[in-house]
Amino acid sequence: MKSILGRLDPDDFLRDYWQQKPLLVRSALEGYRSPLTPDELAGLSTEENVESRLIKGSDKVPWELHDGPFTDDFFSQLPETDWTLLVQAVDLWVPEVGRLLDYFDFLPRWRLDDIMVSFAPVGGSVGPHFDQYDVFLLQVEGERNWQIGDPSDETAGLVPNVPVRMLADFVVRDQWLLSPGDLLYLPPGIAHWGVSVSNSLTFSIGFRSPSVAEMVSDLAIELMVRDRMPHYRDPPSINSNMATGMIDPAFVAQVRALLYDVLDDEELLSDWFARYMTAPKYPGLETGSGERRAARTRFHRYLNGYRDDGGETS
């Protein structure tokens, strides 16, 4: 199988680019054909169990955010330009899309989040923003212009009164026009802004990056269901002088030591982390589930031009 990184060795990529700086690979998957059309993607977004959203707007048109599932009437009222349809976890619904993951065997499979597919006509965009996860953007159809900015974090100023997180100050540091087969890797925190130059289909292969707060919250639930977990005890150095409204540093040190003891339990931490990072993002949609099979049946009916009530789609 041809490397999706072109002539770049995977270990060199991991050493020099992964979570550090963007990488553009021209003709990474030259000749790749999408397993689904934009119309089929729209059909998928009409499903109740499929996570989808549509962002509409530009510098001249007020920004709007719409959450799926969508309807035929909704799509028929869209303008010809300046909107983007985004559908999550398409790899779960269309196995042919999921086969793209074989090209990323130089990364742990459990790090994968999902493959999001987006379609946008001319001018379609979600505005300048940044994400806190690694993503590979594969241009599949049409062209999209990507502007790359500076590293950003939660302290960055955002555009007020818009329904999506957009950076107020976006300085272009680099710019690339992606054509079918081109691949752009973006590490976490890098500001970017993609605008569709023609009707374009983009596959976003994203990797899980939970926050410390999310991990600690889940770990806390894990600890609550375990037996014989230690309880707080006062430090041996406690004395009557500590009987004030202020918390003496010795108490804080005692709590720190207690938490360190828990985190130092390698067996506990390894077991929790393995289950946490491999938990299905959509628990009801794992391979073979009845819910997924039923939804896929309805989806294929839609693709073939029929509604559940037997009427033809428009």
Confidence bin at 285 (pLDDT 50/70/90)? low
pLDDT(272) > 90:
yes
Average pLDDT over residues 229-249: 93
**pLDDT at residue 231 tops 60:** yes
Centre a 10 Å sphere on the Cβ of residue 207 and count the other Cβ atoms it contains: 19
pLDDT at 270 over 90: yes
In the chain, the percentage of residues whose pLDDT exceeds 90 is 82
Averaged pLDDT, 132-145: 97
The per-residue pLDDT for range 290-312, each reduced to its tens digit, is 454 444 444 444 444 433 443 33
Spatial separation of the C-alpha atoms in residues 158 and 168, rounded to whole Å: 5
* Percent above pLDDT 70 for the chain: 90
Q: How confident is the model over 45-51, as a mean pLDDT?
A: 94
Stretch among 87-96, 236-245, 290-299 having the lowest mean pLDDT: 290-299
Mean pLDDT of the residues in the chain: 90
CA–CA separation, 274 and 222 (whole Å): 12
Ranges assigned E (strand) in 180-262: 183-186, 190-196, 200-207
Query: Residue 289 pLDDT > 80, yes or no?
Result: no
Q: How confident is the model at residue 286 (pLDDT cuts 50, 70, 90)?
A: low
Q: What is the pLDDT of residue 292?
A: 45
Tell me which residue of 164, 192, 186 sits closest to 86, measured CA to CA. 164
The pLDDT of residue 312 is 37
pLDDT value, residue 59:
84
- Region 116-130: what's the mean pLDDT? 97
For 145, residues 6+ apart whose C-beta sits below 8 A from its C-beta are: 175, 176, 177, 178, 194, 195, 196, 197
Mean pLDDT on 106-113: 94
Confirm whether pTM is higher than 0.85.
yes
